[in-house]
Amino acid sequence: MRSTTGSGVAKALLIASVLFAIVSASCDLIPGGEDAEVNDTGIMDDVAAPVPTAEPVDEGVPGVFPDRIHFGQSADFSGTARALGTNMRLGILMAFNEVNETGGINGRRLELSNLDDLYTPDKAVLNTIRLIEELEVFALIGAVGTPTSRAAVPVAQEAGVPYIAPFTGAEFLRDPGLNQVLNLRSSYYQETEEMVERLTTDLGITRISIFYQDDSFGRAGLQGVLNAMEKRDMELASIGLYQRLTTAVKAALLDIRQGDPQAVIIIGAYQPAAALIQWSRHLGLDPVFIAVSFVGSNALAESLGANGKDVFVTQVVPFPTDDTLPITQEYLQAIERYFPGREPGFVSFEGYLAGKLAVEGVRRCGEDLTRECFLESLRDGEPIDLGGFRVQYGQGDNQGSDRVFITRIDEEGEFQPITNLRDAFVQ
């Protein structure tokens, strides 16, 4: 096998081999799901693996072949965050399918291989190494989660592999020193600032509590909330936390209740978030709930059912059924064409935008595609118009969008865009 990486990946391989037995044993403890099927190789069933006999155009450009360009994704497809990984994958595939139907880019189709990391850092490292070393992908795209990205990014950085549009707003990924990382979405700091601004300005709320996942993702959101509160000379009323990959939230709810909050900010995945809201309302505690975008909006609404009314979620992409934007029109046409029967949603729309961003980078490089050209063509400082959703990068700025939107679950269990939280309570 051709070596295309530095000594850091070799070291990571040694570490990964030690962790493999632990990861394999822990996989059986995590519930599976129906959203995606993974075969015994770990590759999604309906995604073709690279043709082993084809040779890259140049020995220095892994993943670039005469007839295709190979991308890779490590995300959760069968664990507790499976709705996020599955829908990110769905959106990326739609964007790739569009260009493939017209002959690809300069005669090259875009391919995507997916490996299931179950939202666990150790598995994410193994998958990233495999995608880079064995499957020799051109770039990584659409990773899901802060703890998994924190584990995988050093491997991608050392190998010089682009790490595009991860589904996380963690601040560490905005470090300008991460020259292989291109973020699409706003940061958790921006989302939580918008939450606190809307709660205090729109509703006059002064007692705010937080429910967060006890890991790097949850702590990133917690720090964002603390920053926003400090800016307003406020303190949290109470704090509740839960462990990743569980829905054990009762202790957290008891801690939160001690502060008698008017609002609870949620930094977590949809299953524990839904459990907290349902238990809270069952016990008669009924603050305003507002969740960060990572929660997985459609899955949250479905899990909550009738208990979802007037739950708010911040979003980092436009409303996916707002057909006044060219990009949403294209997205709606693509989901109907390639995945008929699937409901439009924020996560698959973000995946679609991620795929569009990758397509734009490939187009800008022409036939002489390299990883360096791909990244630099997107980072040149000029705005990139993805059909009405604009992103822009520059020196020291690897985040494309700063937009934050607010949505509300209505009495029918459907999301509605809003501009003022007060509007939700006006009859």
pLDDT in tens, 89-135: 999 999 999 999 999 999 999 999 999 999 999 999 999 999 999 99
pLDDT in tens, 6-37: 444 554 544 444 344 333 333 332 222 223 33
Tell me phi and psi for residue 422, to 5 degrees. -60, -30
pLDDT score of 425:
82
Q: Write out 323-348 in H/E/C secondary structure.
A: CCCHHHHHHHHHHHHHCCCCCCCHHH
Q: Are 341 and 127 in contact (CB under 8 A)?
A: no
Q: Is the pLDDT of residue 41 over 90?
A: no
pLDDT in tens, 153-173: 999 999 999 999 999 999 999
Burial class (CB in 10 A: 0-12, 13-18, 19+), 133: buried
Q: Which residue has the higher pLDDT, 38 or 292?
A: 292
- For the chain, give the mean pLDDT: 88
pLDDT score of 5:
44
Q: Is the pLDDT of residue 1 over 70?
A: no
Please, what are the domains in the chain?
Answer: 7-185+324-391 (3.40.50.2300), 188-315+405-425 (3.40.50.2300)
- The pTM score is 0.86
- Span 213-217, mean pLDDT? 95
Distance between first and last Cα of the chain: 66
Tell me phi and psi for residue 174, to 5 degrees. -90, 5
pLDDT score of 426:
72
pLDDT in tens, 59-88: 569 999 999 999 999 999 999 899 999 999
- β partners of residue 74: 115
